[in-house]
Amino acid sequence: MSLARPRAGLRLLHEAWQGFLEDEGPLRATGLAYVSLLALVPLTAVALGALAAFPVFERLAERVNAFVFRHFLPETGETVQRVVEALAANAGRLGLAGAVMLVATALLMMAAIDDTLNRIWRVRGRAGLWQRLAAWWTVLTLGPVLLGAAIGLASYAAARLPATVAGAEPQRLALELLALALEAGACALLYALVPRRPVPVRHALAGAAVAAVLLELARRGFGAYVASVETYRTLYGSLAALPLLLVWIQVSWMVVLFGAEVSRALALPRGAPPEGAPAARLAAAVHALGRLAAAQRTGEAPGAAALARGLTAAESAELEGALERLERAGLVRRVAGGGWVLARGLEHVSAAELVEALGLLPPVVAARGTAGRLGTLLAEGREALRARLDVPLARLYGGAPERPEGE
């Protein structure tokens, strides 16, 4: 049996772990844990409200809550469920201002998740506020409905099992598998939809599968630890569930962020030499400028995600950096809402300006002796190359830059 695949898998996990540390994964997981704890009651209130909006799911609301707290919160689930449900019921008696604050708290958590995941995918800038709010609200309201549908289908399937098969053990196994599938599905949706950059479905699913398995292992290990250690219960009494809940939420977020790093690492070029990056950067910039020139004719301002369509994984990884370089050189500019437009028409931009903006011209070397003489040769070559590249970009596109897909 070949060892290439296991070694590639270990290399991928190592790269993901390095990215997790570079992106301050533990620190960001701590911040998300506190925000999640603050948003736990508002999220429960929003989820119950979303389920209540559909009469077919109204009777499932209690079952959904019980399922979530039992399967995703080790050992402390029932205690936390009683407290959160009581507080969520109180939230229903709040006035308009209180309800707005609850929704704002839930959206605050979504904003923190959005910022963290886009940092992992190296996406800079922000999408339009209304666009982000619409996406977050969709997740907050649609998630509970999909969860209710999944539990309803699982209950229906269990009820249809033959009498010889139905029993506590098969049903328990079915619910465990459902919990694992829901964990993977939720992570895959986060990885695929939240980053403002195209994430291949297979990459999102692979990262989600890793996260779901690690979450299950962490849940079992954490549950066994809590069951065997009485220190927290002795010290905190009835309040022991709170610190345990906070620690568990932080562990969960660390796993989720590591799964995101796995998804991103899958998009990185493997086995390619570092010098391949300038070529990918140039290809990404040329592609983006062509798409922006075509979009300018229709008055559109595509974002980075739209500009990345049609690029390879290596080129897509270089796109954000290329756009920033072009922006500093005054060739493109970012507009409200996070989209990009040309700062000048391509007939007024030379190939030399593009290459210089991307840092692809020979460097200017100020030195003495042999290094100085080499620097002189580089400077002469630089000027000769600039003169040779003094050609309008529009001519290189044949006067008709690339058209966006779908036109």
Predicted confidence (pLDDT) per residue in 153-187, tens digit: 555 555 555 544 444 556 666 666 776 787 788 88
Q: How many beta carbons lie within 10 A of that of residue 192, not counting itself? A: 18
State the Cα–Cα distance between residues 368 and 375, nearest whole angstrom.
9
Judged on CB neighbours under 10 Å (0-12, 13-18, 19+), 307 is: buried
| Buried/exposed code over 112-150 (b: 16+ C-beta within 10 A; e: otherwise) | bbbebbbbbbbbebbbeeeebeeebeeebeebbbebbeb
State the Cα–Cα distance between residues 263 and 362, nearest whole angstrom.
35
Residue for token digits 């790093």? 261
Predicted confidence (pLDDT) per residue in 248-257, tens digit: 888 888 999 9
Judged on CB neighbours under 10 Å (0-12, 13-18, 19+), 323 is: buried
Retrieve residue 67's tokens. Answer: 């399922």
Taking residues 332-344, report their average pLDDT.
85
State the Cα–Cα distance between residues 116 and 297, nearest whole angstrom.
35
State the Cα–Cα distance between residues 16 and 260, nearest whole angstrom.
8
By DSSP bridging, strand 340-342 and strand 332-334 are antiparallel
Residues sharing a CB contact under 8 Å with residue 244, sequence separation 6 or more, in sequence order: 75, 76, 226, 232
Residue 115 has pLDDT above 50, yes or no: yes
Predicted confidence (pLDDT) per residue in 355-375, tens digit: 888 888 777 666 667 777 777
Taking residues 91-101, report their average pLDDT.
60
Predicted confidence (pLDDT) per residue in 121-133, tens digit: 877 666 666 666 6
> With contact defined as beta carbons under 8 Å apart, do 381 and 362 qualify?
yes
> With contact defined as beta carbons under 8 Å apart, do 219 and 72 qualify?
yes
What is the DSSP code (8-state) at residue 18? Answer: H
Residues sharing a CB contact under 8 Å with residue 4, sequence separation 6 or more, in sequence order: none
Beta strands in 17-130 (DSSP E): none
Distance in Å from the first CA to the final CA of the chain: 48
What is the DSSP code (8-state) at residue 334? Answer: E
Residue for token digits 């598998």? 177
Question: Residue 105 is inside which H or E element, if any?
Answer: helix 96-120
What is the DSSP code (8-state) at residue 178? Answer: H
Retrieve residue 352's tokens. Answer: 């030399």
Question: In one letter, which amino acid is 55?
Answer: P
* CATH no. of 278-396: 1.10.10.10
Predicted confidence (pLDDT) per residue in 35-54, tens digit: 877 766 566 655 555 555 55
> With contact defined as beta carbons under 8 Å apart, do 340 and 333 qualify?
yes
Lowest average pLDDT, out of 73-82, 128-137, 173-182, 199-208, goes to 73-82
Cα torsion angle, 296, 298, 304, 306, sign: negative
Residues of the chain with CATH 1.10.10.10: 278-396
Retrieve residue 289's tokens. Answer: 């400028």
Classify 341 as helix, strand or coil: strand
Predicted pLDDT at 275: 43
pLDDT band at 220, cuts 50/70/90? confident
State the Cα–Cα distance between residues 403 and 401, nearest whole angstrom.
6
Predicted confidence (pLDDT) per residue in 272-302, tens digit: 444 457 888 899 999 999 999 989 888 888 8
Q: How far is CA 24 from CA 123, 130, 204, in A?
A: 16, 29, 21
DSSP character string of 267-309: HS-SS--TTHHHHHHHHHHHHHHHHHHHHHTTT----HHHHTT
Q: Residue 185: which of 201, 207, 208 has the closest Cα?
A: 208
DSSP character string of 305-366: HHHTTT--HHHHHHHHHHHHHHHHTTSEEE-TTS-EEESS-GGG-BHHHHHHHTT-SPPP--
Retrieve residue 264's tokens. Answer: 């991103």
